[in-house]
Amino acid sequence: MAQSDEVRFMRRAFVLAERGLNNTASNPRVGCVLVKDNEIVGEGFHEAYGSEHAEVVALRNARGKAKGSMMYVTLEPCCFKGKTQACTHEIINAGVKVVVAACKDPNPKVFGKGFEELKKNGITVRIIDMEKDCFELNPGFFKRMKSDLPWVRVKVAMSLDGYIALGSGESKWITGKIAREDGHRWRARSCCLLTGSRTVVNDDPEFTARVSGEDVLQPEKVIIDPRLIVSKKAKIFASGKVILATLLKNDKLIKEKVMDYRQKGVHVIELKPKSSQSTQFYFKHLLGALSKRGFNEILVEGGPSLVSSLMTENLVDEFLIYKSSKILGAGVSFVQLNTAKDALTNERQWVFKSVNRVGEDVFMSLRKKNNSFYGLANV
Amino acid sequence: MAQSDEVRFMRRAFVLAERGLNNTASNPRVGCVLVKDNEIVGEGFHEAYGSEHAEVVALRNARGKAKGSMMYVTLEPCCFKGKTQACTHEIINAGVKVVVAACKDPNPKVFGKGFEELKKNGITVRIIDMEKDCFELNPGFFKRMKSDLPWVRVKVAMSLDGYIALGSGESKWITGKIAREDGHRWRARSCCLLTGSRTVVNDDPEFTARVSGEDVLQPEKVIIDPRLIVSKKAKIFASGKVILATLLKNDKLIKEKVMDYRQKGVHVIELKPKSSQSTQFYFKHLLGALSKRGFNEILVEGGPSLVSSLMTENLVDEFLIYKSSKILGAGVSFVQLNTAKDALTNERQWVFKSVNRVGEDVFMSLRKKNNSFYGLANV
């Protein structure tokens, strides 16, 4: 088969995979195409956590035609029984002849074992190296598998002169409608939204993902609230699952409050203070706990203190910046750091990944200059 | 002739006009194409102030073929003798049959009179409405002709978090090499660069236009220095023409200082204070004086106090923003205004005109939402 055809089939598998964008976590987004005589005979993608994997959907759709076919799949097929039967088992049983994958599954439970299993059963296995595409579709899954931490995006809406709010704290509406709608798409694909107690107290946001025309699986909501100051009447509790991250304290009153939240269905994560005197915890511990819950991608929408803490601990992977044409003249910045004298001359830590216009505003995404969450060995 | 051919010839005339980008002021950039039997027989553009106009260059290049030809010119031909003979005179003498222009000359000395002169002499005159293109090529000339003020661009290099300098005032290097080179192109096309005395004192810039591989006509340099604090040893005086804008004062010491500057070849503009008690002048008066000197486009590169004053007087036409991916954490903003309570809810005053990546940075230009410096009547 010509190289260009192989890439075309794999691209189709990626297009399918993307349909699961908002629903597959904690699993990755995966797409699959079955080809016979250079024609697609079955397609599938992983629709949602707990449902059939992409490979199995494609096999089912191919009906009798799976036997002797070639499978194009965006990620190495799994080889262990989880919520569903192992994909390798199904592929072998269906009589697939060749499996072409875009990359190895970074999940240590698989990581090449899926390919081994297929080979042992007489199936030819080949990699088209499109790991980068698979990573781009699943940055959170890759990062979590490699480091037990989720992929952290910080969303910022700023004025032309760089402010996220007026001095009064007011921030509605820096950006236009189209930019705000775009922001909701980032919410929808995230496992959780992370914010600070001050944002909840001051702005009382609903913190839901609203994407017009789509019934979106709502991300969970995480509130950083070390002193438990958030009112249970806040709108953020009105729907969906809420997680409160607070400071672990052997204080009777606090224990009661925590108990009370738990009884109301709020998941409380108690984190030990940085030191015995400290009133702060390490965000790395919180993110570790969220990773254990299977959270791949986290969207941070908060004030400068939250963002600065995450940056200080070097935990931010991506900035999503909506830049407005409005000039405020004075206000609050998205981050406050002790400026290093060499901040200007230092090598850049961040690089622009994309720059686009969204309605009246400009959208810019930035990534860390060196990220090492993909780049796995080939088969 | 097909409409598409006409547009093609006019586009060619605009391409030629742009070759004069850095050199024609106080004149506009103009290009001209002569066409006979649907073929170009002569081309020209206005190369520099004082040299032949585009029409005359094209006529000369066409040699014997000008007679009976059609002329495509980006601006109405002039009809008065200035540094050179009136273009209408030359066009009539050469026997041109038809003149197609992109728009009327906004110069009150012409403004339709050129077309009248041609018509009176049996030449067919037609407008393809490309006034917007002519305006884009000559925003300063259009604005100056309509309002006796130059087109004011404010150039800003800012960090990701919106700062133009560290708290210490240090600002080298927020943006990368390619962005800085791009900035020099904006300098090169400007009639003058405008900055504040504090920038001169703190940064001691040369303030020249350095465009690699090009011998650039240097813009003049204007220093806002109400208290005459700038040292004559500053690098800004090392080359080119310098204008000092200062406060008019009946003070012997000041008068002596002014005299001293003038003897050193510095052009001093003395501006009366806003009121008898004030130590400030109206920037509108300064810009009026610069307009009288024939300055079409002005590039402002200064600190927040200069930019804020210009904005408060509503004198800025365009922002050129270079956005870096560097995060400073704290610093100085490009503007400091008394934030209006309704800054967030007000209708936008600025709109993004272009957004591009330049090397490691992002370039964004913004214009006033409603500018009325073009939109002249047709013939």
SS3 call for B156? strand
CB contact (8 A) between residue A160 and residue B366:
yes
Residue B374 lies in a domain: no
At A123, list the tokens: 């199936």
Q: What are residue A114's phi and psi, to 5 degrees?
A: -65, -45
SS3 call for B161? coil
CB contact (8 A) between residue B350 and residue A327:
yes
Confidence bin at B376 (pLDDT 50/70/90): low
Q: Which of B167, B334, B340 sits opposite A339 (nearest CB)?
A: B167
Question: What are the pLDDT tens digits along chain A (379 aa)?
Answer: 677 899 999 999 999 999 999 999 999 999 999 999 999 999 999 999 999 999 999 999 999 899 999 999 999 999 988 877 899 999 999 999 999 999 999 999 999 999 999 999 999 999 998 999 999 999 999 999 999 999 999 999 999 999 999 988 888 889 999 999 999 999 999 999 999 999 999 999 999 999 988 888 999 999 999 999 999 999 999 999 999 999 999 899 999 999 999 999 999 999 999 998 899 999 999 999 999 999 999 999 999 999 999 999 999 999 999 999 999 999 999 999 986 667 788 889 999 999 999 999 999 999 998 777 776 544 3
Q: How far is A324 from chain B (nearest CA, A)?
A: 9
Supply the CATH number for residue A41's domain: 3.40.140.10
* Residues B77 and B102 placed together within one structural domain of the fold: yes
User: Hey, which residues does B165 pair with through a beta bridge?
Assistant: B332
* Residues A119 and A220 placed together within one structural domain of the fold: no
Q: How far is B299 from chain A (nearest CA, A)?
A: 19
Mean pLDDT, chain A, rounded, equals 93
Residue A376 lies in a domain: no
Residue-level length of chain A:
379
Chain B residue numbers touching A366 (CB-CB < 8 A):
160, 325
* Residues A13 and A122 placed together within one structural domain of the fold: yes
Residue B13's nearest CA partner among B125, B140, B145, B137 is: B137
**Last residue of a domain, which of B137, B156, B176?**
B137
Q: Give the number of beta-carbon pairs within 8 Å between A and B.
A: 142
Residue B166's nearest CA partner among B301, B303, B328 is: B328
Residue A64's nearest CA partner among A22, A24, A103, A36 is: A36
Task: Detail the DSSP E strand segments found in B208-271.
Answer: 220-224, 242-247, 267-271
Q: What is the rounded CA–CA span in Å between residue B84 and residue B50?
A: 7
* Residues A266 and A303 placed together within one structural domain of the fold: yes
Q: What is the rounded CA–CA span in Å between residue A210 and residue B28?
A: 51
A289, with CB counted inside 10 A (0-12, 13-18, 19+), is middle
CB contact (8 A) between residue A343 and residue B166:
yes
Q: What is the rounded CA–CA span in Å between residue B327 and residue A378?
A: 36
Contact in structure between A337 and A345 (CB atoms under 8 Å)? no
Contact in structure between B7 and B128 (CB atoms under 8 Å)? yes
pLDDT tens-digit profile of B205-236? Answer: 999 999 988 888 999 999 999 999 999 999 99
Q: What are residue A120's phi and psi, to 5 degrees?
A: -55, -25
CB contact (8 A) between residue A344 and residue B170:
yes
The alpha-helical segments, DSSP class H, found in A97-210 are: 113-120, 131-137, 139-147, 177-189, 197-203
* Residues A87 and A235 placed together within one structural domain of the fold: no
For chain A, the maximum distance between any two Cα atoms, rounded to a whole number of angstroms, is: 71
Chain B residue numbers touching A362 (CB-CB < 8 A):
352, 355, 362, 364
* Residues B186 and B72 placed together within one structural domain of the fold: no
CB atoms within 10 A of CB A232: 12
Q: How far is B274 from chain A (nearest CA, A)?
A: 23
ipTM for this model? 0.92
Q: Which B residues 141-180 touch A at CB under 8 Å?
A: 158-163, 166-167, 170-174
pLDDT at B133 over 50: yes
Q: How far is B185 from chain A (nearest CA, A)?
A: 22
B31-36 and B70-73 strand pairing = antiparallel
Give the structural domain span for B16. Answer: 5-137
**Among all residues of chain B, which has the CA nearest to that of A364?**
B362
CB contact (8 A) between residue B329 and residue A336:
yes
* Residues A154 and A273 placed together within one structural domain of the fold: yes
pLDDT at B374 over 80: no
Instruction: Count the alpha carbons within 13 Å of B233 in the hemisphere toward its beta carbon.
Output: 0
* Residues A102 and A216 placed together within one structural domain of the fold: no
Cβ-Cβ contacts under 8 Å for B202 (sequence gap 6 or more): B169
pLDDT at B137: 97
Q: How far is A368 from chain B (nearest CA, A)?
A: 10
Q: What is the rounded CA–CA span in Å between residue A360 and residue A264?
A: 42
Q: For B34-38, what is the mean pLDDT?
A: 97
DSSP label at residue B50: T
Residue A142 lies in a domain: no
The verdict on whether omega for the bond into residue A190 sits within 30 degrees of 0, i.e. cis, is no
CB contact (8 A) between residue A348 and residue B331:
no
Residue A94 lies in a domain: yes
Q: How far is B206 from chain A (nearest CA, A)?
A: 20
B98-101 and B70-73 strand pairing = parallel
At B350, list the tokens: 């600025």
* Residues B319 and B174 placed together within one structural domain of the fold: yes
Sheet-wide strand order for A267-271:
A267-271, A242-247, A220-224, A192-196, A297-300, A151-158, A318-323, A361-368, A350-358
SS3 call for A112? coil
Q: What is the rounded CA–CA span in Å between residue B11 and residue B74?
A: 9
Q: How far is B162 from chain A (nearest CA, A)?
A: 4
CB contact (8 A) between residue A352 and residue B362:
yes
Q: What is the rounded CA–CA span in Å between residue A57 and residue A91?
A: 11
Residue B346 lies in a domain: yes
pLDDT at B373: 74
CB contact (8 A) between residue A335 and residue B167:
no
Q: Which of B162, B174, B321 sits opposite A163 (nearest CB)?
A: B162
Q: What are residue B124's phi and psi, to 5 degrees?
A: -75, 130
At B130, list the tokens: 């490309």
Q: What is the CA radius of gyration of chain A?
A: 23
CB contact (8 A) between residue A323 and residue B327:
no
pLDDT at B34: 98
Q: Which of A162, A356, A361 sits opposite B163 (nearest CB)?
A: A162
Contact in structure between B36 and B68 (CB atoms under 8 Å)? yes
* Residues A127 and A186 placed together within one structural domain of the fold: no
pLDDT at A1: 64
User: Hey, which residues does B320 pair with through a beta bridge?
Assistant: B155, B365
pLDDT at B1: 63
B147, with CB counted inside 10 A (0-12, 13-18, 19+), is middle
Q: Which B residues 216-275 touch A at CB under 8 Å?
A: none
Residue B138's nearest CA partner among B317, B377, B316 is: B317
Residue B174 lies in a domain: yes
The residue whose two tokens read 């547009």 is B7
Q: What is the rounded CA–CA span in Å between residue B203 and residue B210?
A: 18
CB atoms within 10 A of CB A200: 24
CB contact (8 A) between residue A348 and residue B340:
no
Residue B164 lies in a domain: yes
A297-300 and B39-45 strand pairing = unpaired
CB atoms within 10 A of CB A268: 17
The single residue of B43, B52, B55, B301 carrying the catalytic annotation is B55
pLDDT at A372: 72
pLDDT tens-digit profile of B171-191? Answer: 888 999 999 999 999 999 999
Confidence bin at B129 (pLDDT 50/70/90): confident
Q: How far is A200 from chain B (nearest CA, A)?
A: 20
Supply the CATH number for residue A248's domain: 3.40.430.10
Sign of CA dihedral A253, A259, A262, A264: negative
pLDDT at B375: 65
What is the share, in percent, of chain A residues with pLDDT greater than 70?
97
**Among all residues of chain B, which has the CA nearest to that of A161?**
B162
Residue B152 lies in a domain: yes
Q: Which of A162, A171, A355 sits opposite B355 (nearest CB)?
A: A355
CB contact (8 A) between residue A336 and residue B355:
no
pLDDT at B22: 95
Q: Which B residues 278-337 touch A at CB under 8 Å?
A: 308, 311, 319, 321, 323, 325-331, 333-337
* Residues B312 and B201 placed together within one structural domain of the fold: yes
Q: What is the rounded CA–CA span in Å between residue A45 and residue A18?
A: 8
* Residues A251 and A284 placed together within one structural domain of the fold: yes
CB contact (8 A) between residue A352 and residue B360:
yes
Q: Which of A172, A341, A356 sits opposite B344 (nearest CB)?
A: A172
B359, with CB counted inside 10 A (0-12, 13-18, 19+), is middle
Chain B residue numbers touching A161 (CB-CB < 8 A):
162, 333-335
**Last residue of a domain, which of A137, A161, A177?**
A137
Chain B residue numbers touching A178 (CB-CB < 8 A):
none
Q: What is the rounded CA–CA span in Å between residue B331 and residue B163?
A: 5
At B338, list the tokens: 């008394």
Q: What is the rounded CA–CA span in Å between residue B272 and residue B259?
A: 17
Contact in structure between A279 and A273 (CB atoms under 8 Å)? yes
CB contact (8 A) between residue B160 and residue A331:
no
CB contact (8 A) between residue B327 and residue A340:
no
Residue A145's nearest CA partner among A153, A134, A129 is: A134
**Last residue of a domain, which of A137, A166, A199?**
A137
Confidence bin at B11 (pLDDT 50/70/90): very high
The single residue of A6, A18, A52, A55 carrying the catalytic annotation is A55
Residue A164's nearest CA partner among A317, A309, A330 is: A330
SS3 call for A323? strand
Domain count for chain A: 2
Confidence bin at B35 (pLDDT 50/70/90): very high
Q: What is the rounded CA–CA span in Å between residue B79 and residue B99?
A: 14
Cβ-Cβ contacts under 8 Å for A61 (sequence gap 6 or more): A34, A42, A43, A44
Chain B residue numbers touching A203 (CB-CB < 8 A):
none
Check if A90 is active-site.
no
